[in-house]
Amino acid sequence: MTLKPLSNRVVIKFVEAEEKTQSGIFLTAAAQEKPQVAEIIAVGPGAVADGKTVPMSVKVGEKVIASKYAGTSVKIDGVEYTILSEDDILAIVE
């Protein structure tokens, strides 16, 4: 199954959280923070403003930082994805 976002929506997959701190302490799943860095899986065509499509500023494959609790989570073929608005993307990781 493939996800094709509409309007200015983006499908992302969060990168796994670190299981160990820099000092070598292992964290339980409950102690780990929800990751904010994600990879863009799919991008919609862009929002429509004044009858014209405004192009998206992100591309498939880019790593981004997204708002922690933004978007809607969906699970497809055992993989969890998040669908969110382009406005919920805070930065591109270069």
2-43 pLDDT, tens digit per residue, is 889 999 999 999 887 556 566 666 655 554 455 688 999 999
The whole-chain average pLDDT of the chain stands at 85
Q: Model's pTM, two decimal places?
A: 0.78
Contacts of 55 (CB under 8 A, 6+ apart): 46
The fraction of the chain above a pLDDT of 90, given in percent, is 62
List Cβ neighbours of 16 (8 Å cut-off, separation of 6 or more): 35
Give the integer Cα–Cα distance in Å for 89 and 49: 19
Distance CA 4, CA 74 (A): 13
